[in-house]
Amino acid sequence: MNSALLKKNRKWLILFAAPAVIIFGIIIIIPLFQTFYYSTFEWNGIKLGEFLGTGNYRKLFSSREINTSLINSIVYAVFLVIYQVGLGTFFAFLLTQSKIRGAVFFRNVYFVPVLLSVSVVSQLWIWIYNGDYGLINQLTKLLQIDWSQNWLNQKWTSLLAVAFVESWKGMGYIMLIIYAGVRNIPEVYHEAASIDGASAVQKFFHITVPLAAPTIRITVVMCLTNGFRAFDTTYLMTGGGPGIYTYNLTIMMYQAMMGRNDYGYGSAIAAFIVVICVGLMYVINTLTKRYDKIYD
Amino acid sequence: MKKIKRAILYVVLIFYAVISLYPLLWMFLYSFKDNNEIFVTNPFGLPKVWRFENYVNAFTQFDVLTYFKNSMIVAAATIFLVELSALLFCYVIARVKNRLTGFLHFLVSSGMFIPIQAVMIPLVITVRKFGFTNSLLSVIVPYTALGLPFACMLFYGFYLGIPVELEESAFMDGANLGKIYFKIILPQMKSPIVVLVIYQFMSCWNEFNLALIMLTKNHLKTLPLGLVNFWTAYQAQWGEVGAAMIMASIPILVIYLFFSNQITESMAISGMKN
């Protein structure tokens, strides 16, 4: 826009930009700094107490739950990537093949769990996993396999069971993103390759896969960071239990806030989650940077 | 050989379709059964008697209308506020190029990567301080702010695609920016506006974490929170809880039935923009 017009309409421009800037500043920017600031204090949410420096962080890293929480978060995040990106990529590639009939139907069906409320999904699966009358145990009984167990009440099965539910709920969304990424590959590449005599398999590995790679990378980052900030499903299905077997950082933070009113400690956990999420994204982007250059 | 391969592919596709839908079907069926049928006599089949009383009981004991109303208010208000503030803000950063707008653009876009936990504690404290705990605004305003990064990425690209000449000739005729924006620019933004409505609806309709911490009063709870109340109180009555969960899911499933292609396409765009 030319500068005379800008000057004349300065008031309008400020008026246009102001609401978003104010809301974003008050709700995101200031609290973000506050989180880091408060994490260095003893704080009960009402009166700011003693300055602790790194005290809350030291408390976090020497706490009883930190090892379990970190391992759980890693397992959870990796599980999400394997299930959602793995299956998502598989189905996305499959459904974009022109030979598959009913591709839109399958795409839409796989998306249904994404629509459901997390509390519906959690309760539904609590009963699917139920030790006495759950769907899984009833099915195994029907098939006469002695496999019944109390899925949500044991050490590893509980964590994997919850991770499975979150993956089940979100797979359709991840698949959809990859599906759109594959569909966006310009047809000319395939045509050019066909003219050069490339086979379907060659085209798949030399055109589809590399050109879909940036999209897949995005979904990997999404799944990994989701794994570290996931709260809802774990909170609803196990609340971190049995014992602390399904604890993770967000549950620790919730406990610090609502259970102990220890807001300084809670802020330290929150700051740690931010560092992990931003760090992960940075690491993945750096590691995969060279691929961008090849296909840009 | 080719035929067998294709058959296997379809079996795999159908198998996962069953995994996606069967749990829902199972829930639908048990919402019409009593515990005896669910647990012992008939866990899988159609209900022997369709017990509609489960729905009547759930409806009378579970305040579904209040929760539903709250969720609708939250979603509608958030959608309106995000659309309005992001549309206007993005117009400015797309049309005016200087250091300040560049910085604001960067600032809002990087909000995309910030997990909700990062701002949760200060927000709770602020909301308490200003006495918003008794109001749905305590989630509407944060949802609006959290929705801005994605909205901006979406709109920014579209604005760049609208030729500046249109506005400039209108300026020559002496119209002011407010008038020009709403008469000339806004009508061209229809498709991203629809995409954002769908995306924003999906994300605040299902939001749980912030709502759990902000909305502690029962009459303010949104549907996901209300459901949790109900199922912890009626843990032993599977039929009634199933009925409540079906009632809570039906609106969005019906909407999806009619608009599935629009919804999946909008959500796919949302991923591409990430």
For residue A14, the chain B residue with the least C-alpha distance is: B92
pLDDT of the residue at A15: 92
Q: Widest CA span of chain B, in angstroms?
A: 79
Number of domains in chain B: 1
Tens-place pLDDT, residues A188-213:
888 888 888 888 788 888 888 888 88
pLDDT at B170 over 90: no
- Concatenating the DSSP letter of every residue in B47-69 gives -SS--THHHHHHHHHS-HHHHHH
Long-range residue pairs from B41-45, CB within 8 A, at least 24 positions apart, any chain: B43/A133, B43/A135, B43/A138, B44/A138, B44/A142
Look at residue B109 and tell me if it is in a domain. yes
Structure tokens at B57: 């009981």
Nearest CB partner across the interface for B256, out of A30, A87, A115: A115
State whether A135 and B252 contact (CB < 8 Å).
no
Nearest CB partner across the interface for A118, out of B116, B152, B224: B224
Degrees to nearest 5, angle at CA B170 with B165 and B173: 135
Give the residue with greater pLDDT, A290 vs B61: B61
CB pairs A-B closer than 8 Å: 261
Whole-number percent of chain B with pLDDT over 90: 42
Whole-number percent of chain A with pLDDT over 90: 50
pLDDT of the residue at B76: 96
Nearest CB partner across the interface for B20, out of A26, A30, A112: A112
Within 8 A of A39 by CB-CB distance, chain B residues are none
Mean pLDDT of B46-69: 87
Question: Is residue B259 less than 8 Å (CB to CB) from chain A?
Answer: no
Surface of B (199-238) touching A: CB under 8 A? 202, 205-206, 208-209, 212-213, 223-225, 227-228, 231, 238
pLDDT at A283 over 80: yes
Look at residue B44 and tell me if it is in a domain. no
Tens-place pLDDT, residues B171-206:
777 778 888 889 888 998 998 999 899 889 988 888
Degrees to nearest 5, angle at CA A148 with B33 and B14: 65
For residue A25, the chain B residue with the least C-alpha distance is: B145
In CATH, what number is assigned to the domain containing residue B193? 1.10.3720.10
pLDDT at A296 over 50: no
Look at residue B271 and tell me if it is in a domain. no
Q: For residue B33, what pLDDT band results from cuts at 50, 70 and 90?
A: confident
State whether B271 and A219 contact (CB < 8 Å).
yes
Q: How far is B228 from chain A (nearest CA, A)?
A: 6
Look at residue B12 and tell me if it is in a domain. no
Residue B239 near residue B36, CB atoms below 8 Å: no
Q: For residue A293, what pLDDT band results from cuts at 50, 70 and 90?
A: low
Surface of B (47-66) touching A: CB under 8 A? none
User: CATH for A56-295, among 1.10.3720.10, 1.10.8.60, 3.30.300.30, 1.20.1250.20?
Assistant: 1.10.3720.10
CA A155 to chain centre: 23
Tens-place pLDDT, residues B77-118:
999 999 999 999 999 999 888 899 999 999 998 888 788 899
Question: Is residue B91 less than 8 Å (CB to CB) from chain A?
Answer: yes
State whether A123 and B245 contact (CB < 8 Å).
yes
Question: Is residue B4 less than 8 Å (CB to CB) from chain A?
Answer: no
Q: How far is B164 from chain A (nearest CA, A)?
A: 7
CA torsion through residues B67, B70, B76, B82, sign? negative
Look at residue B73 and tell me if it is in a domain. yes
Determine the Cα–Cα distance for residues B40 and B50; give it in Å rounded to an integer: 17
pLDDT of the residue at A289: 74
Quote the ipTM score. Answer: 0.90
Q: What backbone phi and psi angles, to 5 degrees, belong to A51? A: -75, 125
